[in-house]
């Protein structure tokens, strides 16, 4: 009996200790009451019983408890609700409070009206912020106005106030009649960073579209002249290929694959709301220089220092609201604006050198002369000064590395930025200037020089209902590249004399002098003006009117002159030089009025937009001129020029549209977004000028579901989103539907007649339409320290604009341009983006971002392909159903027979014929595609105290023509070759007409031996920055100062048999850049 009593007492003490000793620790943000109760039950082992309907209209809570008792924890969760609880034998029962009439009267008398202002850290108002008051089953919601103000009526004194805004952390506060000013802190999570979308803003957390963003701090780390180049290796679905390493040169950019065959492939560029042309500037004047190909980019007129963000819109949900202009994607460029606060001055200066990053070893003089000697022996021909000056006349002891001679110099560049900004409560301003000069590795006499200035002004009325935002940007660029064509340098004998004894240029029969090209003249002068004024007014709460007035003017002047000094004195044209000159003025006017509406509906937020666009473009080419001159010093003197051809031109176009978008976000879990646009364009025939485009997107933030929060506590964010829609491509020639006329070559009676040079097509000439589907999964792990996004896309373009053949011979034409029914091009692929916070402790942090894209392009159908110019592929390219648009074709190299290269007879007809075997045109086969198989990049950022190290590796897997494909002479002929030619057992021939030469040119060069793996891993960018201590800067009144070392294209790992695996071909390879700089703020 005593033992029994003793054991009973011990057990009761133990139960009591367990009950009161159990401690609860919670640190949860923005979660439901049910989730918190489940978590308390998990930690305590207690069972909870309650009616789930009790929490249907309760708000979400943020709770922080440490070692609390179970009673304290439960009170913290339901204390403000009309609920009560009891605990019996590790069971918690939660019931509705029995509320007496007196209690209801007290509650009613406790309701108050509350008001306040929501601002950011610097004190700027935050319009559109959501304010929620939750008490029991009562939930009141308000949206802040343009001044950041809000009012809620009838709020219980025990309610919980939650304030949230895109790009900021949510905040909970207690109820008081005058809440005053509530300051929201910027969101630390990348999910809540502000992202620019079409006609507005969003965040990664709530976006339904596929948008990639690059911020100003990432752009600033790269010593580049063109801000678009900052995207290379940093975004999924965005592939950038630079045309060559010439300063200011153009680039190709492809967003989720090539959608078209003959229409334009450029994305739509929007700079602060203004459409901006991306075509090379010489395309606007029709002049092609005598230098490297690829052209020069007009986007060089934008200073990277002025860019706040670059957002790339990829799927239908993000782009369809731009209608007929957005099939190839949209790139939104947003410039910096002034901020409230005292005036600050930011100054930056950096300078450095650049040099060719990669070269190809060529035969030295000994190897070259040995090959030439063997060639003459094989042909049984005796070398003479006439047929072999390189063996009999030139100095056989001479040995010049022509590539090193022409491109082995160090180029220099200098960049200076100055920004002044500041403002008070209602008015802010920013004024910036930039100067950049970059010289060529060919010679420092050739350079690209740019001056750019920008002014931004923002103002709002005292009641903050009326706002004005104005931007003006001016840029002047003078680019004078070397008129050097590298393909004419590679094949020169290494012992070719370049100078006479008197230091004049030496000329040898049958050979050019590469130094002569440096005496030619290429000049590109451009002036670019961008101006935008935005006016907005809050008509009533939640309804805003806005209109943007936009103007863009670009003037381009291109001069290309072949001087007398560059010519062989023995040539028939040595007595004259030749000039091609043109200029153009291109203007764009655009007006975009808009109505924006925002309103709380139930537990969600409704946002609607309706707007219109009117655009007018005017292009004038006052003069296009070709002529000759006899004095190089007067090459640009019109009076001294013998004009052989002259012309002018003018065109204009109009564009009008209506567009709208509606977005509904219910309870921050379920989001629907729909957009629609009707476009009209004067590019098409009357009656056929309008097109309709639209999209729908939806997202489910499943991580907000309580049942998942309980089961997947390590998952901090999860969203499934998808979109589908149609978008157009208007990059086609203006008035292409109309007939064109030309003048007859032979006049009659002194008057030239007219003839139709292009057949009209008014009924079958319209936009190409691309239908896009996107499915994405966004995940966040461990409080968003790991963010992962995976996307699948499929885009289809139908009825492509093509040259339609054949047509009736009676028409007098072989074809016409129109939408070819049944044609289809598809792009599909997978994108992956990953960002991680690896370490963040003890003053040391390490962050990583990774992106990967695997695209596939396919020609799905092409009726009449067999009759088109694309069927053969004999001269490269060609098309095959089921394959990419960008094919690499050639023979199958089978080896050597008696020293001659052989290829496979694919069709077995006993003959070797150039042409695609897949289309029954010959013995070519599809060897691959120039499209990348996959591409991406990985960036690491490490900071420790005042130091920050960033480095980006870019990677691409692809195939490309190698150097053999581009050299159009055979080994043993009077041309130099890559040293790797010695690895093949060729028979060398000195005669281009011999079988040995013909088999090389027509078989080996055109086989798979003429292609190489052009995959590469490139250390694209390195930035090492040191921030000086504030203790050193305060005495000299400097707010902040950094010194840094930065590099671009520092290392390339590749097996490519050519100059550069990115640019491919015989063009200027990309340059290594190394800079040192200083930045200071005052």
Q: What is the rounded distance in angstroms from the CA atom of residue 141 to the CA atom of residue 150?
A: 10
Contact 346, 339 (CB under 8 A): no
Q: Which pLDDT score is estimated for 858?
A: 97
Contact 661, 674 (CB under 8 A): yes
The closest alpha carbon to 975, from 578, 507, 388, belongs to: 388
Q: Which pLDDT score is estimated for 415?
A: 96
Q: Which pLDDT score is estimated for 266?
A: 93
611 has a pLDDT exceeding 60: yes
Strand, coil or helix: 301: helix
Angle CA 1048–1050–1055, to nearest 5:
125
Evaluated on CA atoms 174, 178, 181, 184, the torsion sign reads positive
* Mode of pairing for the β-strands spanning 887-890 and 947-957: unpaired
Contact 168, 206 (CB under 8 A): no
Q: What is the DSSP string of 790-857?
A: EEEEEEEEES-EEEE----GGGT-S-EEEE-TT-EEEEEEEEEEEEEEEEEETTEEEEEEEEEEEEEE
21 has a pLDDT exceeding 60: no
Higher pLDDT, 89 or 965: 965
Strand, coil or helix: 872: coil
Strand, coil or helix: 195: strand
Tokens of 1069: 């390879």
908 has a pLDDT exceeding 50: yes
160 has a pLDDT exceeding 50: yes
Tokens of 483: 């008129």
Residue 20 burial (CB < 10 Å; 0-12/13-18/19+)?
A: exposed
656 has a pLDDT exceeding 80: yes
Name the percent of the chain lying above pLDDT 90.
59
The closest alpha carbon to 383, from 394, 372, 398, belongs to: 372
Tokens of 702: 């499943």
Which among 53-67, 430-444, 727-741 has the top mean pLDDT?
A: 430-444
Contact 851, 234 (CB under 8 A): yes
- Summarised one tens digit per residue, pLDDT across range 558-593 is 999 999 999 999 898 999 999 999 888 899 999 999
DSSP letter (8 states) at residue 1037: T
What average pLDDT score do residues 395-412 get?
90
Q: What is the rounded distance in angstroms from the CA atom of residue 1058 to the CA atom of residue 1065?
A: 7
- Summarised one tens digit per residue, pLDDT across range 763-793 is 788 889 999 999 999 999 988 999 999 999 9
Instruction: Please report which confidence band the pLDDT of residue 137 belongs to, taking 50, 70 and 90 as the band edges.
Output: low
- Summarised one tens digit per residue, pLDDT across range 950-1009 is 999 999 999 999 999 888 889 999 999 999 999 999 999 999 999 999 999 999 999 999
Contact 86, 93 (CB under 8 A): yes
The closest alpha carbon to 353, from 288, 275, 412, belongs to: 412
Compute CA distances 273 → 346, 549, 586, whole Å.
Answer: 26, 9, 18
Q: State pTM to two decimals.
A: 0.85
13 has a pLDDT exceeding 60: no
Q: Which pLDDT score is estimated for 235?
A: 97
280 has a pLDDT exceeding 90: no
For residue 208, the Cα-to-chain-centroid distance in whole angstroms is 19
Q: What is the rounded distance in angstroms from the CA atom of residue 572 to the CA atom of residue 582?
A: 27
Q: What is the rounded distance in angstroms from the CA atom of residue 252 to the CA atom of residue 242?
A: 6
Q: Which pLDDT score is estimated for 459?
A: 95
For residue 454, the Cα-to-chain-centroid distance in whole angstroms is 23
Q: What is the rounded distance in angstroms from the CA atom of residue 823 to the CA atom of residue 827?
A: 14
104 has a pLDDT exceeding 70: no
Name the percent of the chain lying above pLDDT 70.
92
- Summarised one tens digit per residue, pLDDT across range 376-400 is 999 999 999 999 999 999 988 889 9
Domain 101-186, what architecture?
Sandwich (2.60)
* Mode of pairing for the β-strands spanning 768-781 and 715-729: antiparallel
* Mode of pairing for the β-strands spanning 330-335 and 268-271: parallel
Contact 361, 979 (CB under 8 A): yes
- Summarised one tens digit per residue, pLDDT across range 426-444 is 999 999 999 999 999 998 8
Tokens of 315: 């799927």
Q: Which pLDDT score is estimated for 101?
A: 57
Residues near 101 by beta carbon (within 8 Å), at least 6 away in sequence = none
Write out the E strands in 80-222: 83-88, 91-96, 112-119, 130-135, 138-143, 149-155, 160-164, 171-173, 178-183, 194-197, 200-203, 211-215
Cα R_g (the chain), whole angstroms:
35
118 has a pLDDT exceeding 70: yes
617 has a pLDDT exceeding 60: yes
1056 has a pLDDT exceeding 90: yes
Tokens of 401: 């590395």
Q: What is the rounded distance in angstroms from the CA atom of residue 504 to the CA atom of residue 499?
A: 6
Residues near 140 by beta carbon (within 8 Å), at least 6 away in sequence = 132, 133, 152, 153, 154, 155, 159
Strand, coil or helix: 957: strand
Q: What is the DSSP string of 750-783?
A: TB--EEEEE---SSS---EEEEEEEEEEEEEETT
760 has a pLDDT exceeding 80: no
Q: What is the rounded distance in angstroms from the CA atom of residue 406 to the CA atom of residue 498?
A: 12
Average pLDDT, the chain: 88
Compute CA distances 389 → 26, 629, 673, whole Å.
Answer: 89, 33, 74
Class of domain 22-96: alpha beta
3-state percent helix, strand, coil for the chain, nearest multiple of 5: 15, 50, 35
Contact 932, 239 (CB under 8 A): yes
For residue 898, the Cα-to-chain-centroid distance in whole angstroms is 52
Evaluated on CA atoms 214, 216, 217, 219, the torsion sign reads positive
Q: What is the rounded distance in angstroms from the CA atom of residue 872 to the CA atom of residue 22?
A: 81
Evaluated on CA atoms 216, 222, 226, 230, the torsion sign reads negative
659 has a pLDDT exceeding 80: yes
Each domain of the chain, given as residue ranges in start order, spans 22-96, 101-186
Lowest model confidence (mean pLDDT) among 470-474, 526-530, 704-708, 971-975: 704-708
């Amino acid at each position: 009996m005593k033992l029994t009593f003793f054991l009973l007492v011990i057990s009761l003490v133990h139960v009591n200790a367990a009950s009161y000793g159990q401690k609860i620790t919670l640190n949860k943000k923005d979660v439901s009451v049910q989730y918190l109760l489940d978590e308390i039950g998990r930690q305590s082992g207690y069972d909870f019983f309650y009616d789930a309907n009790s929490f249907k209209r309760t708000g979400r809570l943020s709770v922080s408890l440490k070692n609390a008792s179970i009673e304290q924890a439960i009170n913290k969760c339901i204390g403000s609700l009309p609920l009560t609880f009891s605990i019996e034998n590790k069971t918690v029962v939660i019931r509705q409070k029995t509320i007496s009439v007196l209690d209801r009267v007290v509650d009613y008398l406790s309701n108050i009206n509350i008001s306040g202002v929501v601002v950011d850290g610097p004190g700027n108002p935050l319009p559109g912020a959501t304010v929620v008051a939750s008490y029991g089953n009562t939930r009141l919601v308000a949206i802040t106005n343009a001044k950041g103000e809000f009012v809620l009526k009838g709020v219980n004194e025990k309610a919980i106030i939650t304030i949230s805004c895109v790009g900021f952390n949510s905040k909970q506060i207690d109820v008081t009649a005058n809440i005053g000013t509530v300051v929201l802190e910027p969101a630390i999570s990348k999910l809540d960073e502000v992202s620019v979308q079409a006609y507005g803003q969003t965040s990664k957390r709530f976006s339904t579209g596929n948008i990639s963003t690059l911020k100003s701090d990432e752009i600033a780390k790269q010593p580049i002249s063109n801000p678009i180049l900052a995207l290379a290796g940093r975004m999924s679905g965005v592939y950038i290929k630079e045309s060559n390493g010439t300063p200011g040169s153009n680039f190709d950019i492809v967003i989720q694959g090539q959608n078209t065959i003959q229409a334009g492939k450029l994305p739509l560029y929007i700079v602060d709301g203004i459409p901006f042309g991306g075509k090379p500037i010489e395309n606007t004047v029709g002049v092609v220089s005598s230098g490297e190909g690829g052209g020069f980019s007009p986007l060089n007129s934008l200073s990277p220092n002025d860019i706040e963000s670059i957002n790339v819109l990829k799927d239908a949900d993000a782009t369809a609201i731009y209608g007929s202009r957005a099939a190839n994607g949209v790139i939104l460029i947003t410039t910096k604006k002034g901020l409230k606060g005292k005036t600050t001055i930011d100054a930056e200066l950096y300078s450095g050198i650049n040099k060719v990053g990669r070269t190809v070893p060529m035969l030295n003089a000994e190897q070259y002369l040995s090959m030439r000697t063997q060639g003459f022996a094989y042909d049984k021909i005796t070398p003479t000064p006439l047929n072999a000056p390189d063996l009999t006349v030139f100095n056989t002891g001479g040995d010049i590395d022509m590539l090193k001679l022409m491109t082995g110099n160090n180029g220099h560049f200098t960049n200076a930025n100055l920004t002044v900004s500041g403002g008070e409560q209602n008015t802010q301003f920013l004024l910036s200037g930039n100067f950049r000069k970059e010289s060529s590795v060919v010679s420092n006499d050739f350079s690209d020089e740019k001056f750019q200035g920008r002014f931004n002004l923002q103002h709002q009325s005292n009641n903050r209902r009326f706002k004005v935002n104005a931007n003006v940007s001016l840029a002047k660029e003078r680019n004078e590249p070397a008129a050097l064509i590298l393909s004419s340098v590679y094949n020169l004998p290494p012992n070719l004399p370049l100078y006479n004894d008197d230091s004049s240029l030496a000329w040898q029969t049958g050979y050019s002098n590469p130094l002569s090209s440096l005496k030619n003249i290429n000049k590109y002068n451009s002036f670019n003006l961008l101006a935008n004024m935005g006016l907005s007014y809050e008509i009533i709460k939640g309804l805003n009117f806005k209109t943007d007035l936009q103007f863009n003017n670009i003037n381009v002047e291109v001069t290309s002159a072949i001087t007398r000094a560059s010519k062989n004195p023995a040539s028939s044209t040595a007595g004259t030089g030749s000039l091609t000159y043109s200029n153009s003025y291109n203007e764009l006017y655009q007006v975009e009025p808009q109505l924006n509406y925002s309103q709380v509906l139930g537990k969600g937020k409704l946002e609607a937009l309706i707007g219109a666009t009117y655009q007018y473009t005017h292009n004038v080419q006052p003069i296009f001129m070709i002529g000759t001159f006899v004095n190089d010093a007067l090459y640009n003197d019109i009076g001294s020029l013998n004009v052989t051809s002259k012309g002018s031109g003018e065109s204009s176009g109009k564009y009008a549209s209506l567009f709208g978008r509606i977005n509904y976000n219910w309870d921050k879990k379920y989001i629907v977004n729909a957009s629609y646009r009707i476009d009209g364009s004067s590019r098409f025939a009357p009656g056929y000028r309008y097109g309709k485009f639209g999209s729908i997107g939806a997202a489910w933030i499943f991580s907000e579901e309580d049942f998942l929060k309980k089961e997947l506590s390590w998952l901090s964010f999860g969203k499934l989103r998808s979109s589908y829609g149609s978008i157009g491509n208007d990059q086609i020639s203006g008035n292409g539907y109309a007939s064109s006329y030309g003048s007859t070559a032979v006049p009659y009676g002194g008057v030239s007649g007219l003839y139709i040079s292009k057949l009209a097509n008014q009924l079958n000439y319209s936009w190409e339409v691309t239908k896009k589907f996107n499915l994405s999964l966004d995940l966040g792990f461990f409080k968003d320290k790991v963010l992962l996004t995976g996307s699948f896309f499929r885009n289809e373009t139908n009825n492509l604009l093509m040259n339609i053949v054949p047509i009736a011979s009676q028409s007098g034409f072989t074809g016409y341009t129109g939408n070819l029914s049944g044609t289809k091009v598809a792009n599909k692929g997978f994108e992956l983006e990953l960002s991680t916070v690896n370490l963040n402790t003890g003053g040391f942090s390490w962050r990583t971002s990774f992106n990967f894209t695997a695209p596939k392009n396919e020609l799905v159908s092409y009726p009449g392909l067999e009759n088109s110019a694309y069927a053969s592929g004999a001269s490269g390219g060609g098309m095959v159903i089921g394959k990419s648009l960008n094919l690499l074709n050639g023979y199958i190299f089978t080896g050597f027979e008696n020293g001659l290269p052989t290829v496979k007879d694919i069709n077995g007809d006993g003959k070797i014929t150039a042409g695609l075997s897949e289309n029954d045109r010959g013995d070519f086969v599809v060897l691959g595609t120039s499209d990348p198989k996959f591409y991406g990049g990985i960036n690491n950022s490490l900071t420790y105290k005042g130091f920050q190290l960033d480095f980006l590796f870019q990677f691409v897997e692809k195939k490309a023509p190698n150097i053999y494909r581009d050299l159009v002479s055979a080994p043993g002929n009077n041309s130099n070759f890559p040293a790797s030619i010695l690895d093949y057992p060729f028979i060398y021939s000195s005669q281009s007409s011999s079988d040995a030469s013909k088999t090389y040119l027509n078989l080996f060069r055109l086989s798979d031996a003429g292609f190489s793996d052009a995959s590469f891993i490139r250390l694209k960018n390195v930035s090492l920055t040191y921030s000086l201590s504030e203790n050193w800067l305060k005495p000299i009144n400097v707010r902040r100062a950094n010194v840094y070392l930065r590099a671009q294209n520092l290392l390339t790992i590749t097996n490519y048999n050519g100059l550069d695996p990115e640019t491919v071909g015989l063009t200027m390879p990309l340059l290594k850049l190394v800079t040192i700089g200083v930045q200071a703020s005052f």
